[in-house]
């Protein structure tokens, strides 16, 4: 049976059109493997107005903006980055979009009062020390800041620490989505560790999917895990 996507799933169809727009700067053949687009589509169903989401790597703020656009003005997005330039770029992008943006002191646990975007200049490996709440969505787009210093990259050890923390904090029903890049120096080792982390998640508690381009070895990987029940 051929499914008419438009009439059967009008909302999903709209999302595909959004995705098309998002990928409009790439050629038609690249759109299928645009992992940012897939990451957003995978998070979409768990992002509800008024909810809490975490961006482990704010960068230029594209992902933070996506999360904020879905949790809305009453919702909260906590975004980490180690670079002040990244947080400046994110702050500018979100402010222009109309978000309330606050910088947060990384020296003490985060108090999330009111809706908006909370920016933390801190390593994401401190997630559990800084956040005592249960987000429905956590995302990480690893690697370096596009247009910035390519010497500042995410690293295997701190990434793994952040992913363990994210898995612990995530609300039941929530999703963790990670894009990893094997193509840059250190990226292959980190990507392998991320794959191993997702593979190690308890199948009684987690549903896990691995998206990858099977004919391009250095292409980014996208991993998603959905928490089906609380840990024992
Ligand atoms: C690929 S970029 C993120 C892209 C971003 N999500 C966006 O939408 O533009 C990766 C970011 O991770 C940041 N980063 C590197 N190590 C980090 C760490 N330990 N904790 C938090 N952020 C880190 C980098 O500074 C960089 O801005």
Residue to probe by mutation, ligand 1, list 154, 179, 194, most atoms within 8 Å of CB:
154
Residue to probe by mutation, ligand 1, list 36, 57, 106, most atoms within 8 Å of CB:
57
pTM, full prediction: 0.90
Residue list, ligand 1 pocket, CB within 6 Å: 57, 59-63, 80-83, 86, 123-124, 141, 143-145, 152-154, 158
CA 38, 139, 10, 93 dihedral sign is negative
| Sheet hosting strand 116-121, strand order edge to edge | 101-104, 116-121, 76-81, 52-55, 137-141, 175-180, 221-227, 206-212
State in Å: Cα 4 to ligand 1 middle.
39
CATH superfamily, domain 52-227, is: Vaccinia Virus protein VP39 (3.40.50.150)
Whole-angstrom distance, CA of residue 178 vs CA of residue 194? 8
pLDDT (tens place) for every residue of the chain, 232 residues total: 222 323 333 333 344 444 445 444 445 445 888 999 999 999 999 999 999 999 999 999 999 999 999 999 999 999 999 999 999 999 999 999 999 999 999 999 999 999 999 999 999 999 999 999 999 999 999 999 999 989 899 999 999 999 999 999 999 999 999 999 999 999 999 999 999 999 999 999 999 999 999 999 899 999 999 999 998 7
């Amino acid at each position: 049976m051929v499914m008419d996507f438009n009439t059967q799933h009008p909302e999903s169809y709209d999302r595909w059109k959004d995705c098309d727009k998002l990928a409009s700067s790439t050629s038609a053949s690249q759109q299928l493997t645009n992992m940012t687009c897939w990451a957003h589509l995978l998070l979409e169903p768990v992002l509800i107005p008024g909810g809490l989401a975490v961006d482990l790597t704010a960068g230029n703020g594209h992902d933070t903006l996506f999360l904020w656009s879905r949790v809305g003005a009453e919702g909260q997005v906590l975004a980490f980055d180690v670079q002040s330039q990244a947080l400046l770029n994110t702050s500018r992008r979100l402010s222009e979009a109309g978000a309330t943006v606050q910088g947060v002191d990384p020296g003490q646990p985060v108090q999330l009062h009111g809706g908006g975007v909370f920016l933390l200049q801190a390593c994401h490996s401190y997630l559990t020390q800084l956040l005592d709440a249960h987000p429905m969505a956590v995302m990480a787009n690893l690697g370096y800041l596009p247009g910035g210093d390519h010497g500042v990259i995410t690293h295997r050890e701190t990434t793994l620490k952040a992913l363990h923390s994210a898995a612990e904090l995530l609300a039941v029903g929530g999703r963790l989505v990670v894009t990893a890049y094997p193509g840059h120096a250190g990226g292959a080792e980190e990507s392998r560790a991320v794959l191993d982390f997702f593979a190690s998640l308890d199948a009684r508690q987690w549903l896990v999917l691995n998206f990858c381009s099977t004919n391009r070895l250095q292409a980014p990987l996208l991993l998603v895990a959905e928490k089906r029940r609380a840990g024992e």
